[in-house]
Amino acid sequence: MIRSKLLTTTNREAVSVERERLNSLVNSMADGVIAIDERNTVVIYNGAALNILDINSTMTGQALPTIMNLVDPNNQSVDIVELVRSTVTATTSRDYSLRYPDDSRINLYLSIAPVHLGYGKGGQKGHVLLLRDITHEKALEEERNDFISVVSHELRTPIAIAEGSIGNAIFIMEKTNDKDKTKEALNKAHEQVVFLSDMVNDLSTLSRAEGNKLKLEVEPINVAELVNDLVTGYRSQAEAKGLQLLSELDPTLELLNSGKLYVREVLQNFVTNSIKYTEHGSVTLGARPKDKGVEFYVADTGIGISQADREKIFDKFFRSNDERARSSTGKGLGLYITMKLARLLHAEISVDSELNKGSRFSIFIPNLG
């Protein structure tokens, strides 16, 4: 009698130790864990599950549908009881979202596995659900897919034009040997190859910026020299469109300590955009001292940017729907990269623009070091 009582106590202790172990194991998991019984009520759960489901009271004894509102990729509610019931072998999915009472949602990794919750043959059957918030991964995946489709689409056109023009040049040479026409076709091909090379450069800056691999090398910049250099470099491009490219330099400008290459790249982006999106008039590149740095500005008399577009022009791949903007080639990366570089330079960008009147992009670059 005494012996059997002792055994029972030892058993109970063993079970309780076992349960403690299980609890701490389940609680140490980063993923949300919920075990439900045959009637779909919660019997075990961990802190991570409370976090994901955004519940701050006990879940034990609650029915699964009352704590979890699943939606499928078509935004339709999912019958979770049916989903669990039909799960006979462990299954995982990355397609569902979890909807909260305020209608916000997160992307969910959901694994459902049938289990025996009790001991022995007669033990209760149930299911274990694993939950993980994969909103961030999904967003990255989507961004990567968008990126690949935009880049491949943008590459296709110039490659096709360059290929066609070179084929044309060969054909003309063989048939008529007309030098002017051959040159014209080769120039067209050359233009497209330059566009492709610019694009590859942008993409490489972009990938270094995204991987936080851009290094800032601060050096003294002769601001007047930089502005004059850019104006000389872009004058023929502006004049080819009948535009005037002007410079405005405050005579009190001094040396600026900053990342020369990046300052140059930012200004190049502003100037090429202004030339691109201006049909008549002028583009002005100017610089003046401001606070403890220099304010550069690029003002044009171009098509302007609507207020709604102004909020998006620095987004990745954004291109206005304005037909006049669409008529020139672009990939919507220039200003996105510009903003990344500006952050690196601790600079501030501002944009003033009026539709059909023109735009003015200014950037304040502080003296560093």
Sign of the torsion formed by the C-alpha atoms of 263, 254, 275 and 187: negative
Ordered alpha helix ranges (H), 176-222: 179-210
As a whole number of angstroms, the distance between CA 24 and CA 245 comes to 71
Q: Which residue number, 147 or 318, has a Cβ lying nearer to ligand ADP? A: 318
Q: Which residue number, 105 or 208, has a Cβ lying nearer to ligand ADP? A: 208
Q: Which residue number, 168 or 329, has a Cβ lying nearer to ligand ADP? A: 329
Closest CA relative to residue 250, chosen from 284, 223, 288, 224: 288
Minimum distance, C-beta of residue 331 to ligand ADP, in the bound complex (Å): 5
Residue for token pair 């051959």: 182
Total Cβ atoms within 10 A of residue 59: 22
Q: Which residue number, 295 or 300, has a Cβ lying nearer to ligand ADP? A: 300
**190 is written with which tokens?**
């050359």
As a whole number of angstroms, the distance between CA 47 and CA 34 comes to 10
Minimum distance, C-beta of residue 40 to ligand ADP, in the bound complex (Å): 52
Q: Which residue number, 109 or 297, has a Cβ lying nearer to ligand ADP? A: 297
As a whole number of angstroms, the distance between CA 368 and CA 365 comes to 9
Q: Which residue number, 112 or 263, has a Cβ lying nearer to ligand ADP? A: 263
Minimum distance, C-beta of residue 77 to ligand ADP, in the bound complex (Å): 39
Minimum distance, C-beta of residue 283 to ligand ADP, in the bound complex (Å): 8
Half-sphere exposure of 332 (CA within 13 A, CB side): 18
Phi, psi at 123, each rounded to 5°: -60, 150
Minimum distance, C-beta of residue 314 to ligand ADP, in the bound complex (Å): 7
Minimum distance, C-beta of residue 272 to ligand ADP, in the bound complex (Å): 8
- List residues near ligand ADP by CB under 6 A: 269, 273-274, 277, 300, 302-303, 305, 313, 318-320, 325, 330-336, 359
